[in-house]
Amino acid sequence: MTSPVPDSAGRVVVLTGAGMSAECGIPVFRGSGGLWEGSRPEDLATPEAFAADPERVWRWYRERLAGVLEAEPHAGYTALAELERRLPDGAVTVITQNVDGMHRRAGSRRVVELHGNLTRARCSAGCGRTRPTEEPEPNEMCSCGKGTWRPDVVWFGESLDPACLCAAERALENADTAWVVGTSSVVYPAAALPRMAAERGVTVVEINPETTPLSEYATRVLRGAASEELVSLAAAWPEGSTR
């Protein structure tokens, strides 16, 4: 069986999903105890829901943020940040579907946040202004005068930021290895990224206790906990120059 660690150093891209955060005590979206239990996504995480009841949407997101801020990054997050520090610049890129900001809190610097960041608010008119989530009132206007403040996350029915998607695609195009951690591999377009990488010959290592649609395309599948597997992979990753 192919080893998840190469003989020589190369560029590694790490794609993380809700399972990565779950080990920190942050709820996943679906299933028992999930964030959607007892609620419909269309009532809380769509532009239409925000337009209909911004106070309810803001209340839900601030409750989520409070839970996130109580959690701490686990050893897997720390291992990725340390790997980035000891390898040449650009050798490690994290692409995350999570909005909790945990990778940056752990010290990772090269992070692509595909679905935004729960700790930020942004102008609904797209002027580019952002501020901490705790600050704006539910119907407060941005200083541009064209939009109100909303959570800086991608809602159902919205497209990903083209710049973030482009950065993720570019990172995987240049990768030698991709670690896909704790993602169900069913949310597109993010789910398509590691599969396309595998089809181009990139070594894809899936870290997930459950079988996913990506499993059959992965070079190697590791069924352990994300924290344990990432610590092992990062510790064994060779030093040296990237291509």
Average pLDDT, the chain: 90
pLDDT digits (tens, 9 = 90+) for 21-42: 999 988 765 444 445 445 566 6
User: Domains of the chain (ranges plus CATH)?
Assistant: 1-25+73-115+160-243 (3.40.50.1220), 27-70+118-153 (3.30.1600.10)
SS3 226: helix
Query: DSSP for 80-142?
Result: HHHHHHHSPTTSEEEEE---S-HHHHHT--SEEETTEEEEEEEETT----EEETTSS-TTPBP
pLDDT of residue 33: 47
pLDDT digits (tens, 9 = 90+) for 122-154: 999 999 999 999 999 989 999 999 999 999 999
Q: Return the sign of the alpha-carbon dihedral for residues 74, 183, 39, 150.
A: positive
Percent of the chain with pLDDT over 90: 77
pLDDT of residue 9: 64
Q: Which of 64, 74, 103, 115 is catalytic?
A: 115
Question: Is the predicted pLDDT of residue 178 greater than 50, yes or no?
Answer: yes
DSSP code, position 15: E
| Token reading at 233 | 């992979």
What is the distance between the alpha carbons of residues 171 and 178, in angstroms, rounded to a whole number?
A: 10
Please tell me the least confidently modeled range out of 4-13, 113-122, 199-208. Answer: 4-13
From start to end of the chain, where are the E strands?
A: 12-16, 92-96, 111-113, 116-123, 130-132, 149-153, 177-181, 203-207, 220-222
Confidence category of residue 8, pLDDT binned at 50, 70, 90:
low
pLDDT digits (tens, 9 = 90+) for 75-103: 999 999 999 999 999 999 999 999 999 99
pLDDT of residue 63: 87
116 neighbors 133 (Cβ within 8 angstroms): no
Would you call 103 a catalytic residue per the annotation? no
